Structure 1
Amino acid sequence: GFSNSTMLLKYFKANTGLTPSQYRTRYQSEDHPTKIKKTTEFENYQRYLYYLSSYIQQTLGTIIQSPDNQKVIDITLENNLSQQLSHYQHVIQIGSFDTLLIQRYRKQLIEVQHDLGLDHVLIKDPILKGYIDRNVIESDEMIPNMHPYMKVDECLNFLYEHQIGLGIEMHPPTLPSQFEKYTKELKCLLEHIYNTVPNRDCFKLVVYLKCNHTQKILNVITLFKQYFEFAHIVLNIDMDNMNALATAKKLLSEASTNIDSIAFNANQNDIINFKSIESKQYDLAKRHIIAQYNTMTRLLGVKDKNIPVVLLNWNTLTGNTHLTNGEYFRAGIIFEQLIDMNHRIHAIGYWLNHELHHQYNANDVISELNGIDLYHQFDGKRPAFFTSMFFKKLFKQVLFKNEDCIVLGCNDQFQIVVWDAEHYNPYYTINEKSDYLLHKEYQLNILNADKGTYKVKHLTLDKNNGALYQVWQQYNTRHGMDEETINYVNRVSYPKLDVSEVDIVDTVSYHLKLQTNAIQIIEFKKYF
């Protein structure tokens, strides 16, 4: 149960009041062997000092104690049925239909569906953005063997085969002439999808609508319902637009039966002045997403109504440069937000990868601020991927919870999750500092687990295990990386797994070191 010798020494002294050396001196045998005098010979001490210096530099992060006192957490496993963890549905933004034609992106989506869970993908408005080729193909055939929606058909077949829903962001124009043309093209697309999908009742269609004009929004909803009765309608709320908020409130009041969910955006970076050294703003950022949620539900009058909410575009602290965004490891912050938002937020939005995110937000100075990417490039998984993967692994029944630890499961199979979430200026991450200042030490005392032999799996996600950026920069060159290097980087950028066995007959103590913004899951499973 001791992660290193320092933990053992600290625990030994706490229980005996002596260091191991003092303990041996006090209780050693009185029989001492006769010492043989040797002739003193000249030694090159500089060589030994060099070896000692090298050893200290290599192991500095493990042999020096944390500057904070070890935190002791006494865990009593209590089956409180009122405390349940809810798993999120995931909305993966992919930009356009054409994304689904690329094999690498298909592979990523299948992986996301398996490891994280995937409800539907989300594309930009296919009519307004012009991502669909609607040019009529001239032919002398009675039924042309080519039609404008052939690529759409291929994309729909992939989604239908893997039971992935389709989400569409709609931005209906407000001018009457433009709106008429818009709805005409939309009707042609919906009619084609209706006639292409084998079973429309098994095809999930989710429509995200910007609240720009009440009647036009209702017309678009009616058009979708005409073809797909079970289409899921989501109002996409812009918190900075008071007119949009008023329109959304009116729609929720007068046409609530047609509205299934509401979506909003929240970004901790929006309230940070990175040029200021004032520290209180980072404490405010910690609660920003929940504050945005509370403000939105209050303004829309749905605070006490059971309407599902989607957090579509969101982010934690990143800094406002590519370097700080990469260096600021924040898996623990993301995990803490997932815990805090639980039971408030129904679905979480991510961008599939950095390439697509940047492509469809090219006007932004740094597009990463406006959302969280699951992949970097060449299938490299970012820490956000592993964080959501960790969350999906969790059992639903909560047995214990405090500010940085949660235990889930039952008395003979349970998961202990410990995380760190430090909101601080991301610019501090680019200064060199010793590793021993970047961890906290914990002693977990499990008081009432069932007696028996357990298999213990210990997963660690921190800056040394699962942080893609650090490894990527280590192997990157001015001309990029070759395939062999890319595959190696993707293999080693993964959470650490330790497996052991332990016999529990009474209270069991487990010791661990937790790096800044890291997550660790310790799963105990009793053998039958």
Structure 2
Amino acid sequence: MKCKYEFIEYHKSLPLNIFVYEKADEYLTWHKEIEILFVLKGKATLNIKDQTYHLYAKDILVINRNEIHQVTQVDSDTIILSLLLNPYFYEVYYDGFSDIYFERQSLLEDKTEDKYSYLRNKISNIMIHLLSLNKTYQINLLSESLELVAYLVENFRKDATGVNAITDDYLHQRFSRILEYLMKNYDKKITLSDLAKKEYISIYYLSRLFSEHMGIGFNKYLNMLRLDKSMYDLVNTNKSILEIAIDNGFSSAKAYRTVFKENYNMTPNDYRKQLFTTEESQEEKIKFTKGTTALLDILHNYQTNPIAANKNEPNTLEIEVDDINAKNKQWISFEKILYFDYVYDELNINWQTNLEKIHNEINFDYIRFSGIFNHGMYFYDDKEKVYNWFNVDNILDFFVNKKIKPFIKFSYNKKEFTIKSWHIMLENFIEHCIKRYGLSNVKEWKFEFAHEDRSYSKMIELYSKSLDYFQEKFDKLKYGIEFIPSSNFHEEYFLENFKNKHLHFISVEMTEEMYNKRKGFVKILFNSIKNLRLKTYFIKTESRNYFNDTCFKANKLIHDFLNEHHGIDAPVNFIDHLKTTKLFHGGLGLLTYNGLKKPVYHAYYLLDKLKGYVICNGSNYYVVKNENKIIILLYSNFEQVDDEPSTIDFYERNRTASNHDSLLIKLRMNLEQGKYKLKSYTLDKENGSVFDEWINMGKPKDFDNEEFNFIKSKEIMRLKSATVDVQDELLLKQLLPANGVKLIEVTKA
């Protein structure tokens, strides 16, 4: 059991043990106590015999006594709280308590939020009392544990009849006896033969018993148990590796190192060094036990008494707007850029139809694409030294006719071209574009140089030579470069090479994982580019995830544009790739492959309307003024979302949010007397989310025309309009559902 922190409070008066597993890869264990797992942060997978449970932040699961189980971490920052209750202690208060079986499934499927909240409240109370270590903490612990046990019995008790466990009483007793013997004697020499003799059974039968009911061989279980127990000594003592090995039943330090490396991919010494060279020092570990780390922040989220609190009352945010003149004159707007990889897709009529449909609504400024020199897009007659740009012309003609400007990424591959031959081909292409569309049009386009080799020296060489070459040939055009930072990037070294170049913009591309790990460094990079007076574009590469189909992603898009990337434009993916027949597969596009608008499209549409001078803003709102119109955007604070719905299972279990998760926004605004028109747009799981409607339909795999037309009718946001009389102020009360977005336009009638 890879447990970084352990709190042991197992006295005659305190029938409970508490463990906190942080950054734990996996553990396999068995307890004679009842265990309650509470996922505080991250994700984990729990295996109990042939059942697998996917657990997410806030999930709680009960593991009955004598049930062998394995927990596997999914996230690197996973934190799991484990509470062990001694069933025999509670026999004093409830006859037969040790024989009760608690139903697990109802904890995951029951949608009654109060039932969850009460358990979270009680368990977090227990942990906080333990961390406080005040004079009455033991009394408080006992009181909270009794209330918790009573609640479990009343709400989750199930008769053990038919329970998928070791049902034969004699077999059950034998197996429990074997496991308890191993738990007490793991530090001694134990063989399968000795244990078989002790139980008067054959070695073969005992081995099969382990495999069938533990899902693991005897020796592996024993090694895992010993490894489990050794972790306390490794983390919390100064014992040598040999001492730890012998004290925990291993025959030698070498045997211990072998088992350790199989499970942790490092030696015990390396693990110990790594542990004490992380940001958490030994002093900080001590502080943890005193309750002064981030753990308390998580636990305090569950401190409101869920029974006493009025669950019908949402959280409230009050906004006062005294002055609508926007004195700071900060203008908010952004370039609207569509992005996709496969330029060949543009020749598809369906693709062009969908682009035209959304371009008519949003009026995009640019479309960024690559692959223009892939095979099939152009042809070259080597004998006559002539290029045929027919396919490329079809695409560019479409864009020019729709008044959307090309943002063309030129990717260099040294296996196909020398830099010189690549330059000649690009020169021919640009000359062709100027001749066909005119210099006045082409100078509004963007041309970006990119290198498929990610080494800094190769990128710098290509970009420097390309900028020099094309500055001399076409000095009126807008050039940019793509920069993909490495894990230890030095922006000063890279940018220093382009201070005096004919450069207009830099596109920074990185994975979401790197961005989340290095946000501070990324901000420094953006500031460095800004100091060069260059435009910055940010492309964050993300993986497919059902998160992308939901209102979660819509809120995240708004949050990123207005907070994370304020002043930096970010291209958005146009349409899901046609790589599967599934309507929803976590694609990154604004549209599904067959043209349905996803919630993220509506979020982008509403952002496009948020154009004007900023009056005021906060974590959930932006208010701007554009001529005689006031625009108010209300959105959920994405930072409050505990987890991403990476599976449909997770999303379905958590989408029925209580009113408690909603936000009541009261906005009071001083206005001149008169009549005003209010026009509002609402996006939430009931309005504008085709993904939620697809779930409501039963998640069909195939659609006939009637079904498709029905779900298409649900892609529209709710639109309301009203005229109100204003004396001296306008009071707006808007209930914002969890992950909902509202935009309100206020215009004098």
1:118 to 334, 359, 364: 364
Between the aligned partners of 2:623 and 2:489, the Cα distance in structure 1 is 44
User: Percent same amino acid among aligned pairs?
Assistant: 14
* Cα distance change on mapping 1:367 and 1:497 into 2, 3 Å: closer
Structure 2 equivalent of residue 313 of structure 1: 540
- In the TM superposition, what whole-angstrom CA distance separates every residue of 1:372-409 from its partner, at most 9, and x where no partner exists? 42111211112221111111112412222222222222
Contact 1:97 1:131 survives alignment (8 Å)? no
Structure 2 equivalent of residue 61 of structure 1: none
The alpha-carbon deviation at position 455 of structure 1 amounts to: 1.6
* Cα distance change on mapping 1:216 and 1:338 into 2, 3 Å: closer
1:509 is paired with a residue whose SS is: strand
* Cα distance change on mapping 1:267 and 1:439 into 2, 3 Å: farther
Q: Of the two, which has the highest radius of gyration?
A: 2
The alpha-carbon deviation at position 268 of structure 1 amounts to: 4.4
The amino acid across from 2:449 in the alignment is: L
Structure 2 equivalent of residue 231 of structure 1: 477
Structure 1 equivalent of residue 449 of structure 2: 209
Aligned residue runs from structure 1 range 359-370, under 5 A: 368=587
Between the aligned partners of 1:328 and 1:447, the Cα distance in structure 2 is 28
Structure 1 equivalent of residue 348 of structure 2: 102
Aligned residue runs from structure 1 range 59-138, under 5 A: 66=312, 68-127=314-373, 129-136=374-381
1:384 is paired with a residue whose SS is: helix
- In the TM superposition, what whole-angstrom CA distance separates every residue of 1:3-38 from its partner, at most 9, and x where no partner exists? xxxxxxxxxxxxxxxxxxxxxxxxxxxxxxxxxxxx
2:563 is paired with a residue whose SS is: helix
Structure 2 equivalent of residue 183 of structure 1: 423
Structure 1 equivalent of residue 643 of structure 2: 425
Contact 2:507 2:538 survives alignment (8 Å)? yes
TM-score when scaled to structure 1?
0.70
Between the aligned partners of 1:504 and 1:125, the Cα distance in structure 2 is 56
The amino acid across from 1:472 in the alignment is: W
Structure 1 equivalent of residue 279 of structure 2: none
**Residue 387 in 1 paired to residue 603 in 2?**
yes
2:327 is paired with a residue whose SS is: coil
The alpha-carbon deviation at position 525 of structure 1 amounts to: 1.8
The alpha-carbon deviation at position 478 of structure 1 amounts to: 5.6
1:172 to 405, 408, 412: 412
The alpha-carbon deviation at position 263 of structure 1 amounts to: 1.3
The alpha-carbon deviation at position 175 of structure 1 amounts to: 7.5
The alpha-carbon deviation at position 138 of structure 1 amounts to: 9.9
Structure 2 equivalent of residue 265 of structure 1: 509
- In the TM superposition, what whole-angstrom CA distance separates every residue of 1:490-513 from its partner, at most 9, and x where no partner exists? 221121111122111244332221
Between the aligned partners of 2:538 and 2:653, the Cα distance in structure 1 is 33
Structure 1 equivalent of residue 687 of structure 2: 465
* Cα distance change on mapping 1:194 and 1:503 into 2, 3 Å: closer
Between the aligned partners of 2:623 and 2:427, the Cα distance in structure 1 is 51
2:538 is paired with a residue whose SS is: strand
The amino acid across from 1:309 in the alignment is: T
Which of the pair has the greater relative contact order for Cα pairs under 8 Å at 6+ separation? 1
**Residue 297 in 1 paired to residue 526 in 2?**
yes
1:337 is paired with a residue whose SS is: helix
The alpha-carbon deviation at position 68 of structure 1 amounts to: 4.0
Contact 1:200 1:228 survives alignment (8 Å)? no
Contact 2:631 2:746 survives alignment (8 Å)? yes
1:374 is paired with a residue whose SS is: coil
Contact 2:623 2:633 survives alignment (8 Å)? yes
Contact 2:678 2:723 survives alignment (8 Å)? yes
**Residue 338 in 1 paired to residue 561 in 2?**
yes
**Residue 408 in 1 paired to residue 640 in 2?**
no
2:703 is paired with a residue whose SS is: coil
1:397 is paired with a residue whose SS is: strand
* Cα distance change on mapping 1:328 and 1:452 into 2, 3 Å: closer
The alpha-carbon deviation at position 261 of structure 1 amounts to: 0.8
2:508 is paired with a residue whose SS is: strand
Between the aligned partners of 1:487 and 1:78, the Cα distance in structure 2 is 43
User: How many residues are matched?
Assistant: 424
Contact 1:206 1:233 survives alignment (8 Å)? yes
Between the aligned partners of 2:603 and 2:593, the Cα distance in structure 1 is 18
- In the TM superposition, what whole-angstrom CA distance separates every residue of 1:90-129 from its partner, at most 9, and x where no partner exists? 22223244333222222333334333332222222433x4
- In the TM superposition, what whole-angstrom CA distance separates every residue of 1:407-450 from its partner, at most 9, and x where no partner exists? 22279642222211233212453425644246424242424111
Contact 1:214 1:247 survives alignment (8 Å)? no
1:330 is paired with a residue whose SS is: helix
* Cα distance change on mapping 1:328 and 1:493 into 2, 3 Å: closer
